[in-house]
Amino acid sequence: MRILRPTLAAALLATCLPALAGTVTVITSFPKDLTQAYKTAFEKANPGITLEILNKNTVAGIAFVRETPAGQRPEVFWASAPDAFEVLARDKLLVKAPDALNKNVPDKIGSYPINDPSGLYMGQALAGYGIMYNTRYLKAHKLAAPVEWKDLLAPQWFGHVGITAPSRSGTMHLTVETILQGEGWDDGWQTLLRMSGNASAVTERSFGVPDGVNNGQFAAGPVIDFFGLSSKYSKFPVEFVYPSETAIVPANIALIDGAKNSDEGKKFIAFTLSEAGQKLLLEPKISRLPVLPYDQLKGSIPEGYPNPADIAKRSKVHFDADLSQSRYYVVQSLYDQTITFRLKELQAATRAIYEAEAKLGDKARSGKAAELLAQARKLAWAPLVDGKRAADPEFLKIFAGNKKDAAVNQQITKLEGEWNGTARANYEEAVKLARQAAAL
């Protein structure tokens, strides 16, 4: 009995105490200012639970979840891009968490559902996409403040734009898709190629663009709104504008299937959707748009803060997450092969076209010079994959396949190699044609 008594006492004690709380691992692309604020507030409200932040860009985050065995995965996926959650849902990597919902969150922002209709992920904040610019830089270089995407395509913006790649940033992927859906595939790619031709660099991560605008490395660049707003409200010399072609969509949060501590993960999701969690979004260093209506956050909204409902009303783009998800990897691959990895050649083609136009003046509008310049522009700024092919289910199926499959990987590698080689040849030919035109 003396041997059994301590064991029995321990068992009785265990039934009287709550289960030891575990660690909640959150995989997110969000900056430290945001994640640290939530970590501090959540751990204070939930003693005994530790919040661990695993910071990865959205694309790398998806890959991490895919490659981690069930039972060892992080608890929560938290990111801005709704199409990324569609990819995870398609791969059956998310699980419903209805207990975490806040019933005060509206069903929609504009015509877009805030929460996934199937219940696999929830809107935690709202996000729009636009242009962040440095007011001092613009004044020094006599550049007009941009209002629309097309403003960044003008010759005077050459070398002044900062961009990143959709393969490196979920928010850039959303920006790219917003332009493609707003203008259509072919015209949208022309906008992206012309904007990239004016770029001075492709940054490694999404925050490289706002950092570069803040410190005067770039005049302007496409960013998610909270990068621009947080810098503005932190007193950097910057402004942020929503073009008419923008989209207001949810930044989402979801419970990952096959996680270790799902119950604790649900608690964190519920906290981010609570009034306390929503108010954290309004801190100057965070400056995100809450999903809770403003009338429920009275006294917390900064003066002049954007109202997402108003932006959604005037936006021309009704974002289609299914369309974005269907071509997710095609867009990333095409962008990388024709822009990210060929930026130097694209810049050279863009510069040559501008120089020819400036030298020729009115002569650039007619005759042989106009012909040569039209060919140069087409080679430099037309997409290598047209809209018809981009909508072909068989073509899309190639990029939706498992890259670990040797046959799939071989197909993708072959296409990417062709795009890369063709892009280089086209840009070099565009330079030659532009110089021929300039010599006339």
Query: Along the 440 residues of the chain, how does pLDDT read in single tens digits?
Result: 334 344 434 333 333 333 345 899 999 999 999 999 999 999 999 999 999 999 999 989 999 999 999 999 999 999 988 889 999 999 999 999 999 999 999 999 988 899 999 999 999 999 999 999 999 999 999 999 999 999 999 999 999 999 999 999 888 999 999 999 999 999 999 999 999 999 999 999 888 999 999 999 999 999 999 999 999 999 999 999 999 999 999 999 999 999 999 999 999 999 999 999 999 999 999 999 999 999 999 889 988 899 998 999 888 898 998 999 999 999 999 999 999 999 999 999 999 999 999 999 988 889 999 999 999 999 999 999 999 999 999 999 999 877 778 888 999 999 999 999 999 999 999 999 999 999 99
Do 54 and 95 lie in a common domain? yes
Q: Specify if 4 maps to a domain.
A: no
| Cα(82)–Cα(392) distance, integer angstroms | 22
| Cα(1)–Cα(89) distance, integer angstroms | 54
Do 29 and 111 lie in a common domain? yes
C-alpha to C-alpha distances, 1 to 4, 7, 10, 14, nearest whole angstrom? 5, 10, 14, 20
Do 236 and 273 lie in a common domain? no
Q: Which residue among 299, 314, 329 closes a domain?
A: 314
Identify residue 435 by its one-letter amino acid code.
R
Q: Could you give the 3-state DSSP secondary structure of residue 29?
A: coil
| Cα(417)–Cα(424) distance, integer angstroms | 11
Q: Could you give the 3-state DSSP secondary structure of residue 246?
A: coil
Q: Specify if 1 maps to a domain.
A: no
Range of the domain at 273: 22-125+248-314
| Cα(190)–Cα(346) distance, integer angstroms | 12
H-helix or E-strand containing 26?
Answer: strand 23-28
Do 223 and 269 lie in a common domain? no
Do 259 and 224 lie in a common domain? no
Overall pTM surpassing 0.75 (yes/no): yes
Rg of the chain over CA atoms, in angstroms? 25
